[in-house]
Chains A and B, each alone.
Chain A
Amino acid sequence: MQKFESVEGVAAPMLRANVDTDLIIRIERLVGTGRTGLGEHAFEQLRAEPDFVLNKPAYRDSPIILAGANFGCGSSREGAVWALMGAGIACVIAPSFGDIFFANCFQNGLLPVVLPEAEIRALARETEDSQGVGRTRIDLARQVVVTPTGREVPFAVDVRRREAMLEGLDDVALTLKRQAEILAWQARDQAARGWAWNSVAL
């Protein structure tokens, strides 16, 4: 996984709720493609609207999205994360996230930050009041958002996930260190629940 320590830039307010992963990346963009090259298709239906926030000059290169509740709901497509990262987004701040999208973010090094809705609205106001030049900084090690006016807003990230992101850990390698435990569990289970194994044996 890509390491994440901090990001700083103009945060783009996109406060509508329930931005689903279909809206982030259309399925046909994920047919026959790899993990790269998706950035140009991120939010393509919204980008067709001239007043969409990421079309505005101030926010065109924003690395941070200020989002509404339930961001990333819907489909499990990890392409949603790849598309956001491909478009230069490193952090999404929302009151809540879809569960699968949230997990996918941490697999790739995109930081999802949960803050209360009022706090996100305040951040959006500070950015807009600065005419879109005020920068927001997210520091994962300290778990603070530094707002355009310099306020520090704390947030919490699960300790395991924070470590993995700060150090760019590989989950598979970590788990395979426990291979003996897995094999022992499986041996016990094959004795206790033979039915779960025998009927699918190759």
Chain B
Amino acid sequence: MALTLFDKIFDPHVVADLGEGWSLLHIDRVLLHDLSGARALREVGEAGHAVAHPDLVFATPDHAVSTAPGRTSETFAGGAGLVAGLRTRAAETGVRLFDLGQDGQGIVHVMGPELGIVLPGTTLVCGDSHTCTNGGMGALAFGIGASELGHVLATQTLRIVKPKRMRIRFEGALPPGVTPKDMILAAIGRFGTAAGTGHAVEYAGSAVRALSVEGRLTLCNLSIEMGARMGFVAPDETTFAWLKGRRFAPTFADWEAAVAYWRSLASDPGAVFEVDHVIDMADIAPQITWGTSPEQVVGVGGQVPDPADAPDAAKAAAWRAALDYMGLTAGAPIAGTKVDWVFIGSCTNSRIEDLRAAAAIARGKRVAGHVTAWVVPGSERVKRDAEAEGLDQVFRDAGFAWRESGCALCVAANGEAVPSGARCVSTSNRNFVGRQGKGARTHLASPAMAAAAAIAGVITDVRSAA
């Protein structure tokens, strides 16, 4: 029987059939972060259990740490206890911790692939909805809540109903100025923010095959914004070349055996998906969100939609509320909208390729006088690599702040926030009400689009800025 990539990873990980559609699924890797990691480890102990496999658990502080240059775990006082707790609990339980300033520290979904912790064909969970990012490696990776995280730590398994299969094929070459971020935003705009609910999404097609690993991670990152807990790309030679030699990647005979197995991890011809979509890359322009849901997105050449044109009354009301919150006028071109802040970072777009793309736009230019622009590398490693290439200097010369790694303005859990009423073009993943700070207005876009907005001081078509 023809199997999908998803079946090929999920099915062999089933430890037991629990009946009524439930499986006990083995979990190969767990990532912990500061916001919930210490509590999870503590609660497992308080319930009288041991951490089943500390060797499979990896922790790093990212959410509630300052990203100010020279920061320590104390710089953001509100998060200091979380980091201290994570250090204590990790040491007690034998879980590896990648601490501030160490190679390996970073946003969990940047450090996981970067260290070779996330491998094709493995299952991975983290108490963070953007765990789907790691699907870019060809892994089944998904976010869970605190209680389920405790279950995994105590048993190395999860009780789960197998999701349905969905595939989105992106066919054709990437048009100028179009990045993986634009691909996935366009898909969410087309299919809606709940299209993937209950599904595991495979991204395929010639445009996906041509993407770098970093690009695939970005693509998979926004699966949850389409409602899907997991999104993934079949591993291939691009994956293997990227992974080889990384700190926790297999070596020698194990590497050979792994690659031989990984080569079998593609959906078979004729495999059936409950939902199957195709997107023609020629239809995709650089994207920018206009509202308070990632599905509220347009091509940068487009207009702010008019609620009068909404398909139904409920959508019209939602659009009106979004326009009101965002301070936008129906029917106006989205390009030219004045911007106050720019944020380049987050588990979506903070990897070295993202920084290169932004730096290419910023090189030799100046950030508009009224704009505050931040670049927050996704990990200590990304920061060091970027500095070795001189990207930090490009950003500094252009007037961007160059900061330490962490989640920062994506989630505003660390005391850093976009001020109320300010408009921010952000490379992150959520434009929810208040996400970047109470009253903050977020426009999601690619790193190049964000850099172009910083320079121009308004939302700008990156194709005319380059």
Known interface pairs A70-B193, A103-B144; A32-B82 also in contact (CB < 8 Å)? yes
Q: Mark A144-184, 1 if CB is under 8 A from B, else 0.
A: 00000000000000111000000000011001101101100
Please give, as numbers and ranges, the residues of chain B lying within 8 Å of A172 by CB-CB distance.
Answer: 47, 49, 150-151, 154-155
Known interface pairs A160-B20, A172-B150; A182-B15 also in contact (CB < 8 Å)? yes
> Do B432 and A23 have beta carbons less than 8 Å apart?
yes
Min CB distance, A115 to chain B, in Å? 16
User: Which of A176-202 touch B at CB < 8 Å?
Assistant: 176, 178-179, 181-182, 185-186, 189, 193-202
> Do B229 and A100 have beta carbons less than 8 Å apart?
yes
B78 CB–A CB distance under 8 Å: yes
Please give, as numbers and ranges, the residues of chain B lying within 8 Å of A70 by CB-CB distance.
Answer: 193-194, 197, 227
Q: Mark A44-76, 1 if CB is under 8 A from B, else 0.
A: 010000000000000000000000111001111
A181 to B317, CA, bound (A): 52
Tell me which of B54, B82, B150, B293 has the highest count of chain A C-beta atoms within 10 A of its own C-beta.
B293
> Do A23 and B151 have beta carbons less than 8 Å apart?
no
Closest 3 CB pairs of A and B: A107-B147, A78-B145, A104-B145
User: Which of B109-141 touch A at CB < 8 Å?
Assistant: 116-117, 119, 121-122, 127-129, 131
Select A74's contact among B248, B251, B432, beta carbons within 8 Å.
B432
Q: Which residue of A lies closest to B251 (CB)?
A: A199
Please give, as numbers and ranges, the residues of chain A lying within 8 Å of B81 by CB-CB distance.
Answer: 32
> Do A31 and B26 have beta carbons less than 8 Å apart?
no
A200 to B151, CA, bound (A): 21
Min CB distance, A82 to chain B, in Å? 9
Q: Mark B156-179, 1 if CB is under 8 A from A, else 0.
A: 110101010000000000000000
Tell me which of B63, B150, B250 has the highest count of chain A C-beta atoms within 10 A of its own C-beta.
B250
B261 CB–A CB distance under 8 Å: yes
> Do B314 and A202 have beta carbons less than 8 Å apart?
no
B266 CB–A CB distance under 8 Å: no
Select B159's contact among A98, A175, A176, A196, beta carbons within 8 Å.
A175
> Do B79 and A200 have beta carbons less than 8 Å apart?
no
Please give, as numbers and ranges, the residues of chain B lying within 8 Å of A182 by CB-CB distance.
Answer: 15, 24, 26, 155-157
Q: Of B278-286, B367-375, B433-441, B443-451, which binds chain A?
A: B433-441
> Do A16 and B255 have beta carbons less than 8 Å apart?
no
Q: Mark A14-32, 1 if CB is under 8 A from B, else 0.
A: 0111101011001110111
Q: Mark B97-117, 1 if CB is under 8 A from A, else 0.
A: 000000000000000000011
Listed in ascending order, the chain B residues whose CB lies under 8 Å from chain A are 15-16, 18-22, 24, 26, 28-29, 35, 39, 47, 49, 54-56, 63-64, 78-79, 81-82, 94, 96, 116-117, 119, 121-122, 127-129, 131, 143-148, 150-151, 154-157, 159, 161, 163, 193-194, 197-198, 224-225, 227-229, 248-251, 254-255, 257-258, 261, 293, 314, 317-318, 321, 411-413, 430, 432-435, 438
A114 to B442, CA, bound (A): 31
Please give, as numbers and ranges, the residues of chain A lying within 8 Å of B249 by CB-CB distance.
Answer: 199
> Do B24 and A31 have beta carbons less than 8 Å apart?
no
> Do A31 and B82 have beta carbons less than 8 Å apart?
yes
Please give, as numbers and ranges, the residues of chain B lying within 8 Å of A103 by CB-CB distance.
Answer: 144-145, 148
Min CB distance, B225 to chain A, in Å? 8
| Number of A residues, CB within 8 Å of B | 59
Min CB distance, A140 to chain B, in Å? 16
> Do A99 and B229 have beta carbons less than 8 Å apart?
yes
> Do B257 and A195 have beta carbons less than 8 Å apart?
yes
> Do B321 and A16 have beta carbons less than 8 Å apart?
yes
Q: Which residue of A lies closest to B296 (CB)?
A: A18
> Do A100 and B248 have beta carbons less than 8 Å apart?
no
Min CB distance, B98 to chain A, in Å? 13
A15 to B314, CA, bound (A): 9
> Do B159 and A185 have beta carbons less than 8 Å apart?
no
A137 CB–B CB distance under 8 Å: no
Min CB distance, A116 to chain B, in Å? 14
A182 to B148, CA, bound (A): 17
Additional A-B contacts beyond A17-B318, A27-B411, A97-B197 (15; CB < 8 A): A22-B433, A31-B64, A34-B39, A35-B146, A45-B438, A77-B145, A99-B197, A108-B147, A158-B20, A158-B161, A172-B47, A172-B49, A181-B16, A195-B255, A198-B254
Q: Which residue of B lies closest to A174 (CB)?
A: B159
A200 to B250, CA, bound (A): 8
> Do B145 and A186 have beta carbons less than 8 Å apart?
no
A96 CB–B CB distance under 8 Å: yes
Tell me which of A99, A178, A181 has the highest count of chain B C-beta atoms within 10 A of its own C-beta.
A99
Known interface pairs A31-B78, A76-B129, A199-B249; A99-B147 also in contact (CB < 8 Å)? no
Known interface pairs A73-B227, A100-B144, A182-B155; A32-B116 also in contact (CB < 8 Å)? no
